[in-house]
Amino acid sequence: MHIKAICSDIDGTLLNSDRDLSARLKSIISQISHEVPVILASSRMPDAMRHLLLDLGRPAQPLIAYNGGFVLDSAGNVLDSVEIPLPLVAKIIEMTRKTEIHVSLYQGENWYESKDDYWAKREIQNTKVNPTWMASEAVLDLWAKDHKGAHKVMVMGDSNEISWLFGELHLAHASELHLYRSKDTYIEIAPRKISKATGLKLLLQHAYDFGMEEVIAFGDNYNDIDLLQSVGWGVAVANARPEVKAVAKEITLHHKEDGVAATLERISDLKFKI
């Protein structure tokens, strides 16, 4: 196969142990024609992805944000927007009231935090984005006026409380919500009907003259399974979940060992073709 696009997850896949882009990765990307798009697909919000594209020397690239719930073309136009309905967002918030669980709310280009605690500081440091400080109730009121919901709700906290919430939400709303437990202390909550794979397919149909079979994709976690299964060449990093490795056509090095760069270096002379 000839590869006409690169699609990659970010955290645990593209970034190194410093949660940054390595010099090796930037070097190999710089050697690949700009006619081959580099598409980031992540649970992150758009601004938490754009600075990485700038660092790669690829500022005008499409984005698949919120695990496929918010898809932007290379000009920044919104191609798709799928939200968690507001009543369900309100229910999630209500379920956390008698716990210590931290709730982060995301909609489009905006990230809302109600308190400046350990979890908020950690996300600011990890993503290099600053939130809008606003109480959750005020965010719900704002969204109600604009007839909006959430592209993502992220909850963080003690692993036992997170396990409880995961179980409750799965029992009551498994048909409506994707629940990604990326760590024992995290749940990333997204609409059920979207995925990184659906976002990529839509993007290719809109902006390119080739299909999923001519894409190489990289990932490490449960929310990458559909993506790696759907493309022509799915690659799991060595630190990936066993379920992700099981569907991949290749297992590369650990993300801390530049697994994405290693695979791109290996295939760069053989597979890339406009």
Which CATH code is given to the segment(s) 86-191? Answer: 3.30.1240.10
Report the mean per-residue pLDDT for the chain: 95
What is the predicted pLDDT for the residue at 149? Answer: 97
Closest CA to 205 of 28, 41, 59, 79: 79
Q: Summarize pLDDT for 183-218 with one digit per residue, the tens.
A: 899 999 999 999 999 999 999 999 999 999 999 999
Which tokens hold the place of 257?
């060992």
Q: Summarize pLDDT for 92-123 with one digit per residue, the tens.
A: 999 999 999 999 999 999 999 999 999 999 99
What is the predicted pLDDT for the residue at 274? Answer: 38
Domain 5-81+194-267, CATH homologous superfamily name and number? HAD superfamily/HAD-like (3.40.50.1000)
Q: Summarize pLDDT for 37-71 with one digit per residue, the tens.
A: 999 999 999 999 999 999 999 999 999 999 999 99
Burial (CB count <10 Å: 0-12, 13-18, 19+), residue 175: exposed
What is the predicted pLDDT for the residue at 67? Answer: 96
In the chain, domain spans: 5-81+194-267, 86-191
**What percent of the chain lies above the pLDDT cut of 70?**
98
Q: Give the alpha-carbon dihedral of 106, 109, 114, 118, to 10 degrees.
A: 80
HSE-CB at 73 with a 13 A cutoff on CA atoms is 11
In this chain, the answer to whether the domains covering 5-81+194-267 and 86-191 adopt an identical fold is no
Order across the sheet with 233-236: list the strands.
Answer: 78-81, 70-72, 63-65, 38-41, 5-8, 215-219, 233-236, 250-251
